[in-house]
Amino acid sequence: MNDQQLMRYARNILLEEYGFEKQKIVMNSHVLIVGLGGLGSSAAMYLASCGIGKLTLIDKDEVDISNLQRQIIHNTNNIGMSKVLSAQKTLSSLNPEVSVSAICQEANEDVLNKIIMDVDLVLDCSDNFTTRYLINRMCVEASKSLVSGAAIRFNGQVSVYDLKQIDSPCYNCLFPYEKNDLLESENCATTGVFSPLVGVIGSMQASESLKILANIGKTLVGRLVRFDLLNTDFKVSYFNRDSSCEVCSYRHK
């Protein structure tokens, strides 16, 4: 680590639990972020500022003026630009040491298959259940850690699925697909979202990601944190692996 890097990351390195060696691990890590909307914007900026070695970004959309209320990685000059290219531009300016790969495509199975084995961790910052279930299944199959967030109106949630560990529950254990009656029924475009909320959730996703990569603290594996920012209410729910889960139970046979 050179002198400039020591200065850039000094406030993390000074932390007793984090330090020099953990910072080096982070700088050699590769993280995939699916979705460069509100959650992905905040998460990507904190991960880049902390020196993640490589970020791969996937999103098929372009920057729209309605995004700028909450998607802080984009700006007015980038309206009409691909979100991943807009994000790449911002992140490169923030921390030119971070390698940022931009994939302007839908996060389908073919696209994810090409990248998922090369990453250390996946952030699900998508805005629809179809993508969430797909990402979860592929992280189970590839044994990758998954940090999942969601936000709508004034309510958000975060959890971690450390699928490198055989006994860790997956997203489908908590939200079984066959019991989900909200599939594609709501989104921010139709119901609205409080802009600081996505910053809170995205920042927590970045925090959990860094803790996993650096192997520090206690992560949200087996815990779902729910936020009601309208009433400043935070609740934690505990959950275990579902032995009959249609996605991950095969790993235990």
For the chain, give every domain's residue range: 3-252
3-class DSSP assignment, residue 99 = strand
What is the DSSP code (8-state) at residue 222? T
Backbone angles phi, psi at 32, to 5 degrees: -105, 130
Question: Terminus-to-terminus CA distance in the chain, angstroms?
Answer: 45
Please state the pTM of the whole predicted model.
Answer: 0.94
Any alpha helices (H) in 2-108, and if so which ranges? 3-8, 10-13, 19-27, 38-49, 83-94
Supply the pLDDT for residue 192. Answer: 85
**Alpha carbon distance 247, 195 (integer Å):** 33
> What pairing do the DSSP bridges indicate for beta strands 223-228 and 155-162?
antiparallel
In order of 42, 48, 103, 152, 208, the CA distances from 75 in angstroms are 13, 18, 19, 22, 27
Q: Are 97 and 140 in contact (CB under 8 A)?
A: no
Amino acid at 4: Q
**Alpha carbon distance 146, 220 (integer Å):** 11
Instruction: State which H helix or E strand residue 210 sits in.
Output: helix 195-214
Supply the pLDDT for residue 182. Answer: 56
The set of residues, in sequence order, having a beta carbon less than 8 Å from that of 111 and lying 6+ positions away, is 58, 103, 105
Amino acid at 253: K
Q: What is the pLDDT along the chain (253 residues), one digit of tens a residue?
A: 899 999 999 999 999 999 999 999 999 999 999 999 999 999 999 999 999 999 999 999 999 999 999 999 999 999 999 999 999 999 999 999 999 999 999 999 999 999 999 999 999 999 889 999 999 999 999 999 999 999 999 999 999 999 988 889 999 999 998 766 655 556 666 778 999 999 999 999 999 999 999 999 999 999 999 999 999 999 999 999 999 999 998 876 6
**Alpha carbon distance 214, 208 (integer Å):** 10
Which two tokens mark 248?
Answer: 């991950």
Handedness of CA 243, 247, 251, 253 (dihedral sign): positive
Q: Are 57 and 119 in contact (CB under 8 A)?
A: no
- CATH number of the structural domain 3-252: 3.40.50.720
Which two tokens mark 45?
Answer: 């900026």
Residue whose C-alpha is closest to residue 126's, from 187, 65, 197, 193: 187
Which two tokens mark 83?
Answer: 């979100």
Which two tokens mark 175?
Answer: 């939200």
